[in-house]
Chains A and B, each alone.
Chain A
């Protein structure tokens, strides 16, 4: 079973973590999440002002590995959920602007991963969705919490209850994506976005991220 592999490229003030797999369907199984966590930790040094996560070969990530998921006991499921949530918490609390670069399928756990980023940009050929309702599951990686906070409860309910595939244009209009571009421009636009964030002063990034995170939950506490 080919595992989705994780590697990184580091530049001046930025790092890019790349997911790739033989058939292009990047899966977030335990065998990928553990090295992903290690790679992210190594990239998230204080000088890193922008961290990008990018899926190669036609998908950002298509979700969990269902062969693995199918054998989970409830206790394993909780551990698996904690592993993912640990990664997302690390991204949210980091002092870098986290960019999800999406060119292709962004489904299930892949969508949850994108939700933990600060900036989501996608090519127009990308497709989004949460197939849990067709699998007898709900997501365990935060989608039921972060999606309604991002796009509103009603839209999130539609994405999650119907398990529909949402095209990039619609995801952009509904407020899921901050940026959308044609597939042939994708790499160039992503790189220029990364470099713009990498040029920002570190203390400003830290401050804005902190305020956004605290302010979104409680108005009084956020003031």
Chain B
């Protein structure tokens, strides 16, 4: 069992982590979290990755959540340990210096949606279904759902989704900002790749600094956030990307950013 349920590949600057446990809609076991952790480590230590895409194996949905068989056997102490480990992985995804795309086809439920919420952008196929149904099980979201969902969609929407445990379709999710784009189901892989390539062509410096300034700034006061931004902006002028980007613009050509 275990190995090979989380695959990692990299080509042309685009890293891809694929969840693959099709018989259980890619629901996450502790062993899969360990494999996911290894995959994230590979991205962290790579100099070549410029965008990371997280998806479920084609045709099997994104991820139906945590494996309930394992979850039901836990006591409070084990549940806490499990969450410390699993939340840590979500935080590491969020802290990567490259943009991370969640490519959600089919179900993204519970821990699956929380994993997607740890990504910078969520691209959904037309057949995507998203929800945090934990309250139907006598538990609450534990991988950051209560914290990240309201930051993304506002407290009111987050309350409604979490209290009701309702599953929303791609169009609804797009309408209130939970997903960033709805892409044709048949062309989903290609469209996601196209978006990933577009981001891979951007300045890695801009990506890393915009991402960290956005994320850190939201937890700070406006004044503290503006100070973070100013220092990050000034730091751009110590690196070659700004020279290349501005020169290319003035010469009316496409910039070439290296990593």
A-contacting residues, B238-255, CB 8 Å: 238-247, 249-250, 255
| Docked pose: A152 CA to B241 CA in angstroms | 28
Given contacts A145-B222, A154-B177, A162-B199, whether A70 and B236 have CB atoms under 8 Å apart is no
Partner of B121, one of A85, A152, A161: A161
**B137 beta carbon closer than 8 Å to chain A:** no
If A66-B249, A134-B245, A136-B255 touch, whether A156 touches B234 (CB-CB below 8 Å) is no
Assess whether B168 is interfacial by the CB under 8 Å rule: no
- Name the B residues within 8 Å of A4 (CB-CB): none
* A74-B234, A145-B229 known; A138-B222 Cβ under 8 A: no
Cβ of B177 and Cβ of A138 under 8 Å apart? no
A138 near B232 with CB under 8 A, answer yes
CB contacts (< 8 Å) of B217 on chain A: these are 144-145, 148
Cβ–Cβ contact B236 & A133, under 8 A: no
B232: A residues at CB distance < 8 A: 138, 144
Q: Are B255 and A135 in contact (CB under 8 A)?
A: yes
Contact of B203 among A134, A152, A216 (CB under 8 A): A134
The reply to whether the CB of B147 lies closer than 8 angstroms to some CB of chain A is no
With a cutoff of 8 Å between Cβ atoms, the chain A residues found around residue B238 in the complex are: 74
Contact present for B214 and A136 (CB under 8 Å): no
Q: Which of A75, A135, A145 contacts B226 (CB 8 A)?
A: A145
B67 at the interface (CB under 8 A from A): no
* Distance from A80 Cβ to chain B, minimum over Cβ atoms (Å): 8
Assess whether A133 is in contact with B202, with CB atoms less than 8 Å apart. yes
State the Cβ distance, B169 to closest chain A Cβ, in Å: 18
Q: Which residues of A contact B207 (CB under 8 A)?
A: 133, 161
SS class, residues of chain B in contact with chain A = helix
Inter-chain contact A81/B233, CB cutoff 8 Å: yes
Contact assessment for B121 and A138 in the assembled complex, using a CB-CB cutoff below 8 Å: no
Contact between A154 and B121 (Cβ–Cβ < 8 Å)? Answer: yes
Q: Which of B151, B206, B228 contacts A137 (CB 8 A)?
A: B206
Cβ-defined contact, A138 with B209, below 8 A: yes
B242 touches A144 (CB 8 A): no
In A45-90, the 8 Å CB interface with B consists of 66-67, 69-70, 72-78, 81-82, 85
Residue among A74, A153, A217 making CB contact with B222, cutoff 8 Å: A217
Residues in B with CB closer than 8 Å to A135 are 203, 206, 242, 245-246, 249, 255
Q: Is the CB of A66 within 8 A of B235?
A: no
Pairwise interchain contact A160-B243, C-beta atoms closer than 8 A: no
Given the contacts A132-B206, A162-B198, A70 and B234 also touching, CB distance less than 8 Å: no
0/1 per residue, A139-155, Cβ < 8 Å to B? 11011111011001111
Whether A161 pairs with B120 at a CB distance below 8 angstroms is: yes
> Which residues of A sit under 8 angstroms from B228, Cβ to Cβ?
145
Q: Count residues on chain A whose CB falls below 8 Å from chain B CBs.
A: 45
Residues A140 and B249 in contact in the complex (CB < 8 Å), given A133-B207, A135-B255, A160-B210: no
A38: Cβ under 8 A from any B Cβ: no
Q: CA of A163 to CA of B198 in the docked complex: distance in angstroms?
A: 10
**A→B interface (CB under 8 Å):** 66-67, 69-70, 72-78, 81-82, 85, 132-140, 142-146, 148-149, 152-158, 160-163, 174, 216-218
Can you add 13 more A-B contacts, CB < 8 Å, to A81-B233, A144-B229? A74-B238, A77-B234, A77-B237, A135-B206, A136-B241, A138-B232, A139-B229, A144-B210, A154-B120, A154-B153, A160-B214, A161-B120, A218-B221
Which residue numbers of B lie inside 8 Å of A, CB to CB?
99, 120-122, 151-154, 177-178, 180, 198-199, 202-203, 205-207, 209-211, 213-215, 217-218, 221-222, 225-226, 228-247, 249-250, 255, 257
3 closest residue pairs by CB, A with B = A136-B241, A140-B233, A136-B245
User: Can you sample 24 A-B contacts with CB below 8 Å?
Assistant: A66-B249, A73-B237, A77-B233, A78-B231, A78-B233, A81-B234, A85-B226, A137-B205, A137-B206, A137-B245, A137-B246, A144-B210, A144-B213, A144-B217, A145-B222, A145-B226, A146-B222, A152-B153, A153-B218, A157-B210, A158-B180, A161-B120, A163-B202, A218-B221
